[in-house]
Structure 1
Amino acid sequence: MARMRSRSEQAAIRQDIFRWLDEQLASGKWELTRAELEAYRFEGERIPLLDTGRGIRNPADFHSTLTVMTSSKSHPYDDEVLDGGIIRYAYRAQDGGDNKKLVVAFQQRDPIVYLQGIRAGVFVAHYPVYIVENLPEQRCVMLAVDEIFRFFGDPLEMTGDARRYSEKIARARLHQPLFRARVMHAYEGTCAVCSLKHAELLDAAHIIGDSEDVGLAIVPNGLALCKIHHAAYDRNLLGITPDYEVRIDRDLLDEVDGPMLRHGLQDMHGRTLSIPRRKVDWPDEQRLALRYEQFSGA
């Protein structure tokens, strides 16, 4: 039988997992494969972050759950993201150690990782995530992406400032990572304007901002852009027509500066946008038209 790790050792491993996940994001990895998650090591020891055939990872030498996973093929009523960014996570069908360790994570306020499946064997990691409610009568727990949700009472009954704050946090920490991963996959990690392929220099840009009614975090409302073109697009120095032509602000075209301005922006004027292979992922023409009106009137 495996030796139970001390609470301090378990906490150190959790923090190291968060550090490792931070490193993956910093290197431009918006999504992680099952093989990568299973290969994680702590001080040379391999500690898989996914279990085989289960949606919950409960190492035998841990008191509580380490990670939970939602498959890209999960039944929508089993696990779902509710309004305000609260995640409903179902107990395993068979009562036993898995569910008990999930409850212990709630009782001990242990931070865990929520791995959201986006394609077969590919996941987006949300961390740290906290269990803020245990509902044994409904055979589920409620997960939140910020520990402050513990102080808001019933996560499904939030109103006013608490509700607005929860929605803001959910956009930043739950919806945006998923949006980024899907956009980058659709554009094959390449800037749609200049074709730069360095992942760490690319962003997933919204065509219509997520604060607007049609600014949904979906691929047709997104563009993979390098950081200079993302900044130029956000500031209406670069526009994209509904028929996918890149336009540069007229004053900027007339400006004389240096090679970065000339090659990075001015030379992009009139260029045709690079779009995803799948038509379902192409930029939405109506959203582009709305956004282009802002560019034209700026």
Structure 2
Amino acid sequence: MIERFGLDEDVIRAQIMEWLAARTHDGAGAVTWAELRDFTLAGESLPLKDRVKGIWKPSGFSSALSITTTFRPEGAERPYDDGVIDKEILLRYKWNGTDPNEATNRALRAAMDLRAPLIWFVGIAKGLFQPYFPVYVVGEEPEGHQFLVSADAAELGSDSYAEEHIRRYLDVKTRHRLFQGIFRTQVLLAYRQRCAVCNLGHPPLLDAAHIVPDRDEAGIASVVNGMAMCKIHHAAFDSQLLGIRPDLVVQIKADLLLEIDGPMLKYGLQEMHGRSLMSVPTSRSLKPRLDLLEMAWERFKAG
């Protein structure tokens, strides 16, 4: 038991992850550095990540609680070369420095030995982090000064209190490819949390639509291959009922324009025909990429 909280450590981990799940709508949103810094439990301060170091072990904990991958603006380098081995399974996470006995490296190694569930915070903008949880340290590569971290629910091996109480979040997590949460958050930020087609500004009703589907070889998980769309326009876009011309003008399928089926069809789709997108990123580097728009436009015409 950690005395200042009056709770066992695995109970604390479960409660933190339950809070993160509620705060981020089961991992579909991001959390600010201020929220992570000011988190409290049982009236006591409990920061969820360190301000500088990537590996964080709070006072009284037996092992690390979280790891962080820093935000990297386009063209900038991260201080540590973390990388993904398999796009959906393993992350290489660098030691802090090269000394295996450095305190935070020992804390992460202890998490591996204890099979303790961790939180992985991925920086997506300055002061904004996408959490992934639970993740587990499943191996170490000393020659590369790095750990292997699993981002796959299949690595669960014990029946601790924490694991029992976060299984419902694992069900959500395993339905999504790794990094799709990051893609959604970055796209919604770029589009100022408004639907590109109709300008709806309610984030729970918004998706990050892929211009070219992610199953396609060209379907990169990048903002330039995304548009923020409300759920009706996202579904219409994916079904080739709605298309976006390369000049960012909305087109509705011809036979749909002739139908009569109530106000949603009329105002939600038909009246969008021929309009320019209402919300587009201001930064040129975040705008939809022309070649991807052209590919999607050809698919719409063919459909």
What is the match of residue 87 of structure 2? 84
* In structure 2, distance between residues paired with 1:105 and 1:28: 22
TM-score normalised over the length of structure 2? 0.84
Structure 2, gaps ≥5 residues long: 158-172
Q: Does 1:294 align with 2:277?
A: no
| 1:222-261 equivalences in 2 (<5 Å) | 222-261=226-265
**Secondary structure at 2:229's aligned position in 1?**
strand
* 1:41 shift after superposition: 2.7
- The structure that is helix-richer by fraction is 1
Structure 1 Cα separation of the partners of residues 259 and 194 of structure 2: 28
- Kept in 1, the 8 Å contact 2:116–2:136? The answer is yes
Aligned match of 1:106: 112
* CA displacement at 1:139 relative to structure 2: 2.4
Aligned to 1:41: 40
Per the TM alignment, residue 40 of structure 1 is displaced from its structure 2 partner at its CA by 2.2
Of 282, 293, 297, which residue of structure 1 is paired with 2:287? 282
Q: CA deviation at 1:183?
A: 0.8
Letter in 2 for 1:57: W
Which residue of 2 is the match for residue 187 of structure 1? 191
Q: Percent identity?
A: 41
Distance 2:19 2:259 in 1: 44
Match of 1:30 in 2: 29
One-letter code aligned to 2:202: H
* Aligned amino acid, residue 259 of structure 2: E
Match of 2:123 among 117, 123, 126: 117
* 1:214–1:29 Cα change, 3 Å: closer
2:164 alignment counterpart: none
Contact 1:145 1:173 in 2 (8 A): no
Aligned to 2:221: 217
Where in structure 2 are the equivalents of 1:253-272 lying within 5 Å? 253-272=257-276
Matching residue's letter, 1:237: L
Alignment partner of 1:213: what SS? Answer: coil
Amino acid at match of 1:55: G
Aligned in 2, Cα 1:36/1:77: closer, same or farther, shift over 3 Å? Answer: closer
Shift of 1:48: 0.9
RMSD: 2.4
The answer to whether the 8 A contact 2:55-2:105 is kept is no
Query: Counterpart in 2 of 1:17?
Result: 16
| 1:53 alignment counterpart | 52
Name the CA shift for 1:60/1:173 in 2 (closer, same or farther; >3 Å). farther
Determine if the alignment matches structure 1 residue 96 to structure 2 residue 102: yes
Count of residue pairs brought into register by the alignment: 279
Instruction: State whether structure 2 residue 114 is matched by structure 1 residue 141.
Output: no
Q: Which runs of 5+ in 1 are unaligned?
A: 152-168
Query: How far, CA to CA, are the matches of 2:112 and 2:140 in structure 1?
Result: 7
Q: Within the alignment, does 1:75 sit opposite 2:78 as a pair?
A: yes
Q: Please list every run of at least 4 consecutive aligned residues from structure 1 whose deviation after the TM superposition is greater than 6 angstroms.
A: none
Larger mean CA deviation between 17-26 and 279-288 belongs to 17-26
Other structure's SS at 1:26 match: coil
CA shift, 1:46, in A, is: 2.8
> Who is 2:182 aligned against?
178
In structure 2, relative to structure 1, the CA distance for the partners of 1:201 and 1:15 (3 Å cut) is same
Contact 1:4–1:60 under 8 Å retained in 2: no
